[in-house]
Homo-oligomer: A and B are copies of this chain.
Amino acid sequence: MQYALYYWTGIQGRGEFVRLALEDAGADYVDMARVHGDAVMQPFLDGHSEGAQPFAPPFLKAGRQVIAQVAAILDFLGPTLDLVPQAASRRMQALQWQLTIADLVAEVHDTHHPIAASKYYEDQKTEARARAAAMRGERLPKFLGYFEQVLKANGGRHPLREHSYVDLSLFQLLSGLDYMFPRRMQALWPTLPLLRALKDRVEQRPGIAAYLASERRLAFNTNGIFRHYPELDDGK
């Protein structure tokens, strides 16, 4: 089946978590907005297309089915793309971990937009500085320490003891954090050896390596979720 992925052009954003799964599996997909422009998403967002109305991109069209929300899309794709264990209980574990990644991603967004998503970063810079200190000092060690412990408890290489979309999402999360908080991550990496190794392994997977080297992989930038503003970073 050919999948249609719908996500904003110009940024990696939340769409990248889906893109990595499709690329890793070598799935046949069209990145609709990149081909037809962002306007191609509007009928779906307005509820004028067939399938469930998405609240926001990314969403995926698979036949007549429209699925929104990154974790739901990955839960849907997982079995077909062989990116999740077959057993229902382990597929549920993958979903649980993906949702914890999603929680941190939402917090990452609000780090540079603590007051309002609709306002410019420049208009909430002071508040962003305060929030970034809490992110660096409390939230990153808590979330990343948790995933390090999950890896340790499951043989060290994969949260699910085999390759899954959770590995790909952890790779994207860690790559984004490396871009956003280079000084803080440099200080944290020595405490996260298993995550470090997982990130390196994912980067070398054939589908991922080819994707990262292609023009399809956009660079991180200050319009996306992970944004590098030097004033928000610090070693501690």
Interface residues of A (CB under 8 A from B): 47, 52-55, 65, 67-69, 71-72, 75-76, 89, 92-93, 95-97, 99-100, 102-103, 106, 110, 114-119, 127, 130-131, 133-134, 138, 143, 146, 149-150, 153
Partner of A149 from B47, B134, B150 at Cβ < 8 Å: B47
Output the residue of A65, A114, A133, A143 with the most chain B CB within 10 A: A114
Chain A binding surface, main DSSP class: helix
- Residues A131 and B106 in contact, CB atoms below 8 Å apart: no
Residue of B nearest to A110 (CB): B110
How many copies the complex holds: the figure is 2
Residue of B nearest to A75 (CB): B95
CA A149 to CA B153, docked complex, whole Å: 44
CA A115 to CA B134, docked complex, whole Å: 8
CA A150 to CA B138, docked complex, whole Å: 38
CA A93 to CA B96, docked complex, whole Å: 17
- Residues B116 and A131 in contact, CB atoms below 8 Å apart: yes
